[in-house]
A and B are shown apart, each in its own frame.
Chain A
Amino acid sequence: MGTLTTEVARLSLVITIGGMPVRVNTTDPTFLTMLQDRYAGYVFSSGEAEIEFDVEIAAHSFADPDADVRVSQHDGRWTLERGDFRAEWEPSQRHGWIRQTANPYSIDAVLRIVHTLILARQGGFLLHSASAIRNGKAFLFAGVSEAGKTTISRLAPPDVTLLTDEISYVRKQNGGYFAYGTPFTGELAKLGENVSAPVSALYLLAKGSENRIDSVTPGEATRSLLANLLFFAEDEELVQATFHSAFEFVNRVPVSRLTFVPDQRVWELIR
């Protein structure tokens, strides 16, 4: 008599962003290959993970694909929802699950959200900004869409290591702030290097007719930083933690306005 069940091979990999290893389990080899391509440079086939997600691949989208993201917490369990995915994550168990179709965008959103939640408790954040390392120091270039994040990334000279042209990863470590490379790309469509360095400055980007750096008031710096933070959770405690983290960051890291024309000379100011 034949067996009534078939054992399905569980495939997994570890995606390490910001020094935080997240194991992703799936039974779909095509999806695994998709993740290996999407997160090249951030993927490890083995190793300890801080968090583990089981991904269930659905054949079809199961909700309104245009629905906004919703992130809420109840009794220590986070629920993450968007039109194209639903996920749950229980930090105390270091485990969660994701239900989505076989695409890299849904899990990308889940990873961003999970990292913002982890960072919020540690005094760090994800920021709408390009970032790069030069001379061992990390520089952040913040701005909304069209502010010039991708442009300044494209203009970077060869001695600059790009961390991202879209979303920067900032961790509070050893009494300071470190910027990490991310696979979260903008128009440049190029993954950042998976390296880190202490943050030396945050520049608020503005396009103009000359290259120059101007000081900004602490209030403007804080408002601009808060305006560019990625944060999704409907959670008062984490909102308050993130708010105070922005003030701490501005207290410790120089924030200026960088006005630039789109040519490489702007990098003469960044050292």
Chain B
Amino acid sequence: MTKLYVARNPRVAARSLDGEMMIMSGRDSTLFTLNKTATILWQSADGNTPLNEIVEQRICAEFAVEPVTALQDAESLARELANHEILKISEEPIAQGTLADGAQR
């Protein structure tokens, strides 16, 4: 099975407020509010940790959910966030140079 790697797009602005993660696209100013699962995914998206490990170690640990189902859901979510250019997705680890998250506070 192919591993997927996810990384935060440094070109978005992100901020957590009372546990609620808000992200604004620098491209078109669209505002996104992430739910808990998406927030975990965003926070864990370091470009080096495979998605299946994020799901096993962070999402399944937080929510009572089957790993297979959780991975499917997480992959679907990651692709949706990638469509909005919030995350980057790759089948290879994503280089640190593209991960500068100066916009995140």
Q: Which residues of A pack against B, CB within 8 Å?
A: 217-219, 222-223, 226-227, 231, 234, 236-237, 239-240, 243-244, 247, 250
Assuming the contacts A226-B24, A236-B27, A244-B105, asked whether A219 and B13 have C-beta atoms less than 8 A apart, the reply is no
Asked if B11 and A222 sit within 8 Å, CB to CB, the answer is no
Asked if A231 and B22 sit within 8 Å, CB to CB, the answer is no
With both chains docked as a complex, state the minimum distance between the C-beta of B61 and any C-beta of chain A, in angstroms: 25
How far is B18's CA from A247's CA once the two chains are assembled, in angstroms? 12
With both chains docked as a complex, state the minimum distance between the C-beta of B70 and any C-beta of chain A, in angstroms: 25
Asked if B29 and A244 sit within 8 Å, CB to CB, the answer is no
Which chain A residues border B15 with CB–CB below 8 Å?
243-244, 247
Which chain B residues border A243 with CB–CB below 8 Å?
13, 15, 24
- A236 is contacted by which of B26, B31, B33, B105 (Cβ under 8 Å)? B26
Enumerate 10 A-B pairs (CB-CB under 8 Å) in ascending A order: A219-B17, A219-B18, A219-B22, A219-B33, A222-B17, A223-B22, A236-B11, A239-B25, A240-B26, A243-B15
- A231 is contacted by which of B12, B27, B29, B103 (Cβ under 8 Å)? B29
With both chains docked as a complex, state the minimum distance between the C-beta of A222 and any C-beta of chain B, in angstroms: 6
- A218 is contacted by which of B13, B17, B29, B33 (Cβ under 8 Å)? B17
Which chain B residues border A239 with CB–CB below 8 Å?
13, 24-26, 29
Which chain A residues border B28 with CB–CB below 8 Å?
234
With both chains docked as a complex, state the minimum distance between the C-beta of B12 and any C-beta of chain A, in angstroms: 8
Which chain B residues border A223 with CB–CB below 8 Å?
22, 31, 33
Task: Report the nearest B residue to A219, measured CB to CB.
Answer: B20
Q: Which of B6-40 contact A (CB under 8 A)?
A: 11-13, 15, 17-18, 20, 22, 24-29, 31, 33
Which chain B residues border A227 with CB–CB below 8 Å?
31
How far is B29's CA from A227's CA once the two chains are assembled, in angstroms? 10
How far is B25's CA from A247's CA once the two chains are assembled, in angstroms? 16
Asked if A240 and B24 sit within 8 Å, CB to CB, the answer is yes
How far is B24's CA from A244's CA once the two chains are assembled, in angstroms? 10
